[in-house]
Structure 1
């Protein structure tokens, strides 16, 4: 695996969620974070900016009932336009990076309003605008900084999925297709790949699909397995997988080591950091997943592996809450 990764020039996958790229300031910090690890040659996977996915879905739902003439007046559309154009302006980039997408988005909403119907297939296509724009902005910003980057839409990179719109699954053909494309492009013209999370292409319909809950993490682990990398990094807004919900117990601490089975069990009991399905490719490929904090980049985070040295046990405090009225 290591030799294959070196030949391709990649060492890790770095996946960043929506809160990590929610503004121009956050994108600057993410670029600085990536460049602060010069020993790494990452494949970067991004979610849509901030609340963009939710706003796209709300815009689609409103378009169904508002009528075509009023589709361009939907508030969520205005919020999406303002966020992306402001971010581009603050980063000193050209608005043409996203202007075509914003125009197409408005036309799509008018079409939904005219048909008074939002199918699952159209819903997936609508949602894809978020990742398509965030990755183009971030790749352009890295290039402006002098760090060569290349943007990829996952549905053109080789992510082949079932045709289960809104909850598609990765098909086995994805792995060699993604590896071939990324290897080939690196050999021809080395650049940091910036890939849309959450998206794929249905193998029968050839339409854009989304991967459901934990979809961007699944994108990252799929790339890690395809390239046989040494580690997959999932950057969140917490210091790792915590012992409990910090909103409930303020003294929650990160667990340094977990197995995939333990991480799945924590998810079953309500942990929101990782979805077990998104970890499947990493588990199959035997590739560690490291959960790190994009707001605290040098914290070690949580490393999730198939097995772990039981001498590295994390002893934690279990708090029992009682209700005196019971």
Structure 2
């Protein structure tokens, strides 16, 4: 088994994600674990969302989050044909999860909300890349890391 980890710069554009696909195609006959970071600068954008939320600037938080949403849907649109609708449906679930949180008032620690909001970046990018890999003929199974790993904080 080989483990590949692609950082944010490696998945920061349609072209870079296509390059990830080419790299993985070269290893398609091996059992792989692929780890994908949030798309380039998404973590920074989501940190701003978390800050606005914790400062109870709900409108700002939602507007900032809308920019993240648009970026990811646009990326999926340019990468996917047959898998686009399924991918967008999955992305919508993640968007809804975040938006429910953003409509609440903070009652827990900043670190808790930071973790809940910023992790959405990895969920979005892994979703898009997984659908893209399947679209190009690689059998990829997306796994929500929150179902696999547990931490002792947040």
Which bin holds the TM-score, normalised by the shorter protein? 0.7 to 0.9
In the alignment, the residues of structure 1 paired with residue 59 and residue 79 of structure 2 have an alpha-carbon distance, to the nearest angstrom, of 33
Relative to the length of structure 1, the TM-score reads 0.42
Residues 67 and 160 (structure 1), Cα distance of their counterparts in 2 relative to 1, 3 Å cut: closer
2:130 pairs with 129, 132, 139, which one? Answer: 139
In the alignment, the residues of structure 1 paired with residue 33 and residue 129 of structure 2 have an alpha-carbon distance, to the nearest angstrom, of 13
* Structure 1 residue runs without a partner (length 5+): 1-10, 166-326
Relative to the length of structure 2, the TM-score reads 0.85
Instruction: Trace 1:251-290 onto structure 2 (pairs within 5 A).
Output: none
In the alignment, the residues of structure 2 paired with residue 28 and residue 162 of structure 1 have an alpha-carbon distance, to the nearest angstrom, of 36
**Partner residue in 2 for 1:109:** 102
Verify the 8 A CA contact 2:53 2:102 in the aligned structure 1. yes
Residues 100 and 60 (structure 1), Cα distance of their counterparts in 2 relative to 1, 3 Å cut: same
SS at match of 1:15: strand
Residues 92-141 of structure 1 show CA distances to partners (whole Å, capped at 9, x for unaligned) of 22221201211222232222xx3376531221111111111111111111
Verify the 8 A CA contact 1:47 1:131 in the aligned structure 2. yes
Of structures 1 and 2, the larger Rg is shown by 1
Verify the 8 A CA contact 1:61 1:118 in the aligned structure 2. no
Residues 253-299 of structure 1 show CA distances to partners (whole Å, capped at 9, x for unaligned) of xxxxxxxxxxxxxxxxxxxxxxxxxxxxxxxxxxxxxxxxxxxxxxx
Verify the 8 A CA contact 2:39 2:125 in the aligned structure 1. yes
Instruction: Trace 1:217-232 onto structure 2 (pairs within 5 A).
Output: none
SS at match of 1:115: coil
Verify the 8 A CA contact 2:9 2:39 in the aligned structure 1. yes
Richer in helix (by share): 2
Residues 36 and 121 (structure 1), Cα distance of their counterparts in 2 relative to 1, 3 Å cut: same
Shift of 1:69: 4.9
**Partner residue in 2 for 1:33:** 23
SS at match of 1:152: coil
How many residues matched? 149
Residues 160 and 33 (structure 1), Cα distance of their counterparts in 2 relative to 1, 3 Å cut: same
Richer in strand (by share): 1
In the alignment, the residues of structure 2 paired with residue 22 and residue 82 of structure 1 have an alpha-carbon distance, to the nearest angstrom, of 14
* Structure 2 residue runs without a partner (length 5+): none
2:110 pairs with 119, 122, 144, which one? Answer: 119
CA RMSD of aligned residues (A): 2.0
**Partner residue in 2 for 1:65:** 55
**Partner residue in 2 for 1:87:** 75
2:37 pairs with 47, 59, 73, which one? Answer: 47
SS at match of 1:43: strand
Residues 47-98 of structure 1 show CA distances to partners (whole Å, capped at 9, x for unaligned) of 111111111111111123354455423xx31321121010110012222120
